[in-house]
Each structure stands twice: as C-alpha cells, then as structure tokens.
Chains A and B, each alone.
Chain A
Amino acid sequence: MASIEERVHQIIEKELGVNPEQITPEASFIEDLGADSLDTVELVMAFEEEFGMEISDEDAEKLTTVQGVVDYLKANAE
C-alpha cells in the first residue's frame, strides 16, 4: 500500500493536472497550483473517496496546502 503522502500526491496530480515536481509540501492549492474554489471542493471529494471518510466543510476550508492535507489525513484517516 502506498503511503498517505504518495496517495495525496497522486490525487493532486490528477485533479489539478500539475507536474509532480510542483507538489512541494508547502505548495498552496490556490496560490501555487492554480486551483480555484471549486477545484478545491473536487480535491476534497477525491480525498474523501480515496480514504473512505467524510471531511466537513469547516475542516476542508483549513486544508490549503499539500502538507496540511497530509497532516490532516495522518491524524484523521484510518
């Protein structure tokens, strides 16, 4: 099984159509990876489906960077 980091990176690559080298830990989805507000909703949906969990809108709003998502999933995903 791939690590949480690897799975997160793959989803970001596919959903936002960015190159792997752009996906640095501190990269912001909106500022650095060209996402708009609906792209971030689709990203959260993809994380929910990949990790079989629900991410509340309140939590989702705080998930603005690659590292933020990885940390959140490490703490909350089974």
Chain B
Amino acid sequence: MDPKISVHITGTGRAVPDRILTNQDLEKMVDTTDEWITTRSGIKRRHIIGPGQSNSDFVAQACRNALAMAQVDAADVDFLLVGTITGDLIFPSTACLVQEKIGARNAAAWDLSAACSGWLYGVKTATALLKTGMGKRALVVGSEMLSTITDWTDRSTCVLFGDGSGATLLEAREDSPGGVLATYARTDGGLAELLHIPKGGSRYPVTPEVLAERSNKVQMKGNEVFKHAVRNMESAAREVLAQAGLGTGDVTLLIPHQANIRIIKAIASRLEIEMDRVYVNLQEYGNTSAASIPIALDEARRAGRVREGDRVLMAAFGGGLTWGAALVQF
C-alpha cells in the first residue's frame, strides 16, 4: 500500500428499467394492499425489466453515465467489478459482457457475489487494488434484476424487490485529501438460510419439482433478517467511523441499503442521525439489492445533496449473511 495514494469516487451513474410496477398492480397479483406494503416497507413502486432487456444493458448504461460525469474514457479503466447475483448468464460473468458493451478494452472484469452487499464489497476490493498502485481507475457496479428470481406468488417477499443498476468510478490520486476514508465488510455463512435461493444451483439443479415448488426463487425469514440488518448495519457504520476517528455528527449524509423504511429508521435512530441526513428512495425502486446504494448515491449527487468535502456514510446488508460500510469524503 502506498500511503500517498487515496481513492476517490469521481463519477456515478444509474440506469433502471422504464416499466413500473405499483402497489396497486400488486394488489391484483397477490393478497395484499397498498396500505400494508407502505406501512411495512415504505415502498410504492418498483422498476421491472422488460422482454429483450438484460442486466448487462443497464450496467453498461450506468457505467457510461458514471464515466461521462468523471470525463473518463472507458479505455482508461483498469478494473470492472460488477456486484450481482442475477447476471445475464451463468458464465461468462456480466462484467465481461459489459466490458465489451462499453469498450473498456484494457480492464480486467469480473463479477462479485455478495448479494445486497455486492457494491460495498466491490468498493472495498477496488479501493485495496487501487491503493497498491496496480491500476488507476475502477468501475464498481451494483446491479440486480431481482424480478427474475422473485417468487411472484409469495406476498411476503414479492412486494419488496425491484430492478436497477448503479455504477461508480473510483480513481486513485496522489497527495489528495479525502476519498474513501474507511471500509468494513463482514460475513456470517452460518445464517445463510435466512435469505437465500435454496435450489437451482449445482447442488440441487433445476428439476420439474424445483420449478413446481418455486425453490429456485428467493426465500426470506423476514423477522430474523430485520434484526440482523439493523444490528449489523449499525455496527458496521460505527466501525468505519471509528477507523476514521469521526463521529456520527461528522456525517453529511447516511445512505443505508434501501430494503425497508423501518430498518432505515431503526438504524438512523440507533446512530442518532436525524432523518433529514438520511437518503431514502426505496419508495420509487423497492429493494434493488446490490444496486440500491449506488443508485441512491447517484441521485443524491445529481440532486446536489452531496457536495465537495461532504462525508457520506454508506451501510449495506444482505444474504450470506454479508454486511459492511464505507465512509467516503467527496
């Protein structure tokens, strides 16, 4: 690690499908109500991929938007990391398909599987790579087409998820203050079954039985996940603040994973961060897994809510279990 090198988020971009699914639409599909969904989750709409579209299309557009903001050519990108569990194909990785689509011909590209924490894990990985001096620029993406792995007959989960892509460009700089101040990532594989897709992988390949019982779709123990999400995102946030020697009062904006407004409010309350310093957009997108934080960060930057010198605290949590946080000064 070269202590002179700091890593900065110089570009952000997002791309989401145009097709919208509202709570009223869901009322016609499963036994639920707009009121129930709104009070339990805060979600009103979600964007859903359409026929002929693919995850890599949205990733490519989000990357182009991030590169344009930073005025960087795709050929100058050294690493392309895509956090996703809903890639276009089993292989090659979605990152490979995106590398071709955007012309990042000098980049090493790979996917990173950490469910909803995928982008955060990517930021940690890319920051470490760039600090070694092995490259100057990394595109770090979180992108998910969760609608393709949602059980649309399960009213407890299908109302929660949406599709979208968020991209960030990380650049190494010398003798430049700020940037990624601290990152933290943790895993608890012992709790894998709280949030998972039980079958359809190499252990239990897809069979007619698997399709009939829909065990190739997301299953979640909501109450347990809620508890771990609140506690782990709070502890991860405190960890990165401690690493940086800062307190919650030094945070301009908290961007938590956008899974559920009740989780977000519980974390903000525990961290004693007022809700006007918390970015919330899940009413529009639902839970887009790895994409939720980079989509929110891009919205916040383009809306002028993140300015030069601002410190943004981001916390992620997802299946694995995986969780983590990053503290970034812009």
Contact = CB atoms under 8 A, between A and B. Distances in A.
Given A37-B40, A38-B40, A38-B262, A45 B230 contact: yes
B227 A45 contact: yes
A44 to B, nearest CB: 8
Contacts, number: 20
B266 interface: yes
Interface in A46-61: 57, 60
A31 to B, nearest CB: 17
B39 interface: yes
B226 A38 contact: yes
Interface string B224-262: 101100110000000000000000000000000000001
Interface in A17-66: 36-38, 41-42, 44-45, 57, 60
A60 B223 contact: yes
A45 B226 CA distance: 10
A38 B229 CA distance: 13
B221 interface: yes
B40 A57 contact: no
Contacts of A44: 227
Contacts of A42: 262, 266
Interface residues of A, number: 9
User: For the side of the interface on B, what is the size category?
Assistant: 10 to 19
B138 to A, nearest CB: 37
Contact of A36 (B40, B226, B227): B40
Contacts of A57: 221, 223-224
A38 B37 CA distance: 12
Contacts of A37: 40, 223
A11 to B, nearest CB: 14
Nearest to A60: B223
A41 B39 contact: no
B39 A36 contact: yes
A41 B226 contact: yes
A14 to B, nearest CB: 11
Contacts of A60: 223
A44 B223 CA distance: 10
Contacts of B39: 36
Contacts of A36: 39-40
Contacts of A45: 227, 230-231
7 contacts: A36-B39, A41-B223, A41-B227, A42-B262, A57-B221, A57-B224, A60-B223
Interface of A: 36-38, 41-42, 44-45, 57, 60
Given A38-B40, A44-B227, 16 more contacts: A36-B39, A36-B40, A37-B40, A37-B223, A38-B226, A38-B262, A41-B223, A41-B227, A42-B262, A42-B266, A45-B227, A45-B230, A45-B231, A57-B221, A57-B223, A57-B224
